[in-house]
Amino acid sequence: MSAVLTIGAATLILPGRAAAVEPGFQVDITELPETFTAGDGARTVTVVASSEQNRCQKVRWSLLIAVDGPDLDEVEVARIEDNGDFPIQVQNAGDDSARITDVQLDPGQLCRGRTVTARYRIGFDEDADSGRVTFRAQAFNAGRTLLQEASSRSQVAGEEAEESPSPEAGPSPSESSPAPEESATDEETAEPEPTSTEEDVAAVPAAGSDSGTPSLLGAGLIVGGILVFLGVGLLLRLRMRSRAPKHSSQLPTGFYPAN
């Protein structure tokens, strides 16, 4: 018999106070899914009680379920015994929690070396949100005295977790793929302008000179040589004239006898 956790009953079989536990008993949650997926069907939760007492006794199971994220009315619980439903009653325990208690005592008997097992089929509606669910399994004796308890927790993968996030509008092809880098920039591809070095400056002729014709210096030397040659010739002529005999221009003062 499956029950939604918000459903209550007029008459509830409530467990006794769980302030203390009886020594010599052990309760373990031996089967518990790590994650419940909303809308993915019910999963099995198994609880086992063991005893070190020499006497045997009957057990009544009670399971506290607390949800954080999903709502209680999105949880369905069925108590399974011998592959069939076992009657349960549901009590809203407040703070998003509910208690599921067996209406009858478990058909098994808890003795030393013999265990008693409780199985639950638990599922979440497909509209359930993501979150967590905490289980606290308690074993009571026929007098509603708590023997022992155990707790564990699972995750709930809700509706928003199953929906894959809508892909954001990707950039245009020109934006998504970077433009291929140019092999070189204009400054890199342009041939560098020649820069003159000291050797180049020394090899460049002076401004105003023509490497293909004689320089002004050569012309000056030629003209200077000619002038020197003419000057030397002029000096020689003057020297020769100075050495020639001089003829007197004065009349003789003596008188010569006439013939």
Tell me: the pLDDT tens digits for 112-158?
Answer: 999 999 999 999 999 999 999 999 999 999 999 999 999 999 999 98
CB-count exposure of residue 144 (10 Å: 0-12, 13-18, 19+): middle
Query: Token digits for 200?
Result: 């180049």
Contact assessment for residue 105 and residue 142, using Cβ atoms and an 8 Å cutoff: yes
* Calpha distance 51→139 (Å, rounded): 11
Structure tokens at 229: 């040659």
**CATH class for the domain made up of 2-11+21-156:** mainly beta
The reported pLDDT for the residue numbered 250 is 47
Report whether 25 contacts 49 (CB < 8 A). Answer: yes
Listed residue (128, 46, 112, 57) closest to 81, CA to CA = 46
Q: How sure is the predictor about 2, in pLDDT bands with cuts at 50, 70 and 90?
A: low
CB contact at 8 A, 111 and 51: yes
Band the pLDDT of 201: cuts 50, 70, 90: very low
Question: Any alpha helices (H) in the chain, and if so which ranges?
Answer: 159-162, 173-176, 186-189, 198-203, 216-243
Q: What percent of the chain has pLDDT over 70?
A: 56
Average pLDDT, rounded, for the chain:
75
Report which DSSP code applies to 232.
H
